Structure 1
Amino acid sequence: MIVSLLCYCRFMKSSYPALSTRLSKQALELSIAAPQVVAQRVTRMALAGANPSARDQKEFKQMSDEKVTAFYESWTAIWAQMYKSQFAIAQTMMSAMTTAMVAGKQPSAASTLSALSRETSKVLSAGIAPVHRKAVSNAKRLSRG
Structure 2
Amino acid sequence: MTARRQQTRLARQVGELAFAVPAVVGHRLARMALAGPMPGARDRREFSGMVNEKGVAFANAWTAMGWQMLMSQQRLAFALCRAAWMPWLGGGGLALHRHWQNTAQQVMAAGIAPVHRKAVANARRLGRSR
Q: Same fold (TM over 0.5)?
A: yes
Map of 1:87 onto structure 2: 74
Greater RCO, 1 or 2 (C-alpha within 8 Å, sep 6+): 2
Map of 1:108 onto structure 2: 92
Cα distance in 1 between the residues matched to 2:77 and 2:8: 25
Gaps of 5+ in 2: none
Cα distance in 2 between the residues matched to 1:98 and 1:33: 49
TM score, norm. by length of structure 2: 0.91
Gaps of 5+ in 1: 1-14
Q: CA deviation at 1:97?
A: 2.9
Q: Percent identity?
A: 43
Cα distance in 1 between the residues matched to 2:26 and 2:34: 12
Where does structure 1 differ by over 6 angstroms across 4 or more consecutive aligned residues? none
Cα distance in 1 between the residues matched to 2:67 and 2:92: 28
1:122 partner amino acid: Q
1:119 partner amino acid: T
Map of 1:35 onto structure 2: 22
Cα distance in 1 between the residues matched to 2:82 and 2:6: 23
1:121 aligns with 2:125: no
Q: How many residues were matched structurally?
A: 127
TM score, norm. by length of structure 1: 0.82
1:116 partner amino acid: W
1:58 to 33, 36, 45: 45
